[in-house]
Amino acid sequence: RRFKPLFDRVLVFKAAAETKTAAGIILPEAATKTQNEAVVVATGPGFLTQTGETIATSVKEGDKVLLPDFGGTKIVLEGEDFFLFRDSDILGKLE
Protein backbone atom coordinates (compact mmCIF):
# COMPACT_ATOMS: atom_id res chain seq x y z
CA ARG A 1 0.00 0.00 0.00
CA ARG A 2 1.07 3.56 -0.70
CA PHE A 3 -0.06 6.53 1.41
CA LYS A 4 -0.68 9.79 -0.45
CA PRO A 5 -1.24 12.87 1.76
CA LEU A 6 -4.00 15.33 0.87
CA PHE A 7 -3.70 19.09 0.28
CA ASP A 8 -0.56 20.66 1.81
CA ARG A 9 0.33 17.78 4.12
CA VAL A 10 3.76 16.13 4.13
CA LEU A 11 4.55 12.59 5.33
CA VAL A 12 7.99 12.26 6.95
CA PHE A 13 10.10 9.51 8.50
CA LYS A 14 12.17 10.44 11.54
CA ALA A 15 15.51 8.67 11.86
CA ALA A 16 16.37 7.15 15.23
CA ALA A 17 18.06 9.48 17.72
CA GLU A 18 21.83 9.13 18.09
CA THR A 19 22.72 6.91 21.04
CA LYS A 20 26.49 7.20 20.64
CA THR A 21 28.75 10.24 20.35
CA ALA A 22 31.44 10.68 17.69
CA ALA A 23 34.01 9.61 20.30
CA GLY A 24 32.12 6.36 20.94
CA ILE A 25 30.50 7.27 24.26
CA ILE A 26 27.10 5.61 24.65
CA LEU A 27 24.41 8.07 25.74
CA PRO A 28 21.66 7.06 28.17
CA GLU A 29 18.10 7.29 26.86
CA ALA A 30 17.36 10.28 29.11
CA ALA A 31 20.21 12.27 27.51
CA THR A 32 19.03 11.81 23.93
CA LYS A 33 16.76 14.59 22.78
CA THR A 34 13.85 14.23 20.41
CA GLN A 35 14.83 13.85 16.79
CA ASN A 36 13.94 16.94 14.77
CA GLU A 37 15.42 15.82 11.46
CA ALA A 38 13.36 13.75 9.05
CA VAL A 39 13.17 12.64 5.43
CA VAL A 40 10.13 13.51 3.30
CA VAL A 41 8.44 10.30 2.14
CA ALA A 42 5.39 11.75 0.33
CA THR A 43 3.70 15.10 -0.25
CA GLY A 44 0.21 16.18 -1.10
CA PRO A 45 -0.53 18.20 -4.26
CA GLY A 46 -0.45 21.50 -2.35
CA PHE A 47 -2.60 24.19 -0.80
CA LEU A 48 -5.83 25.10 -2.58
CA THR A 49 -6.60 28.85 -2.67
CA GLN A 50 -10.09 30.35 -2.65
CA THR A 51 -9.81 30.95 -6.40
CA GLY A 52 -9.16 27.24 -6.98
CA GLU A 53 -5.44 27.63 -7.73
CA THR A 54 -3.09 25.03 -6.24
CA ILE A 55 0.10 26.24 -4.58
CA ALA A 56 2.61 23.35 -4.52
CA THR A 57 4.35 22.26 -1.32
CA SER A 58 7.82 23.70 -0.69
CA VAL A 59 9.42 20.25 -0.18
CA LYS A 60 9.56 17.12 -2.31
CA GLU A 61 10.18 13.42 -1.70
CA GLY A 62 13.69 12.69 -0.47
CA ASP A 63 14.30 16.15 1.07
CA LYS A 64 15.81 16.25 4.55
CA VAL A 65 13.83 18.66 6.72
CA LEU A 66 13.91 20.19 10.20
CA LEU A 67 10.73 19.76 12.26
CA PRO A 68 9.36 21.53 15.34
CA ASP A 69 9.79 19.84 18.74
CA PHE A 70 6.08 19.16 19.01
CA GLY A 71 3.28 18.64 16.52
CA GLY A 72 2.48 16.38 13.63
CA THR A 73 0.25 13.35 13.55
CA LYS A 74 1.79 9.93 14.17
CA ILE A 75 0.82 7.29 11.61
CA VAL A 76 1.86 3.63 11.70
CA LEU A 77 2.25 2.10 8.22
CA GLU A 78 3.44 -1.48 7.84
CA GLY A 79 4.87 -1.46 11.38
CA GLU A 80 6.90 1.76 10.99
CA ASP A 81 6.20 5.15 12.55
CA PHE A 82 5.67 8.09 10.20
CA PHE A 83 4.53 11.63 10.95
CA LEU A 84 2.18 13.89 9.01
CA PHE A 85 2.84 17.66 9.08
CA ARG A 86 1.41 20.63 7.21
CA ASP A 87 3.88 22.16 4.78
CA SER A 88 3.81 25.42 6.77
CA ASP A 89 4.79 23.59 10.00
CA ILE A 90 8.12 22.40 8.56
CA LEU A 91 10.90 24.72 9.75
CA GLY A 92 13.28 24.29 6.84
CA LYS A 93 15.26 22.05 4.48
CA LEU A 94 18.68 20.61 5.33
CA GLU A 95 21.26 20.57 2.55
* Amino acid 34: pLDDT: 61
Class of residue 58 by CB neighbours under 10 A (exposed 0-12, middle 13-18, buried 19+): middle
- The overall average pLDDT reported for the chain is 85
pLDDT tens column, 54-94: 999 999 999 999 998 888 899 998 888 999 999 999 999 98
- Reference 9, options 62, 72, 92, 78; nearest CA is 72
* Amino acid 78: pLDDT: 87
Phi, psi values for residue 21, rounded to 5° = -80, 170
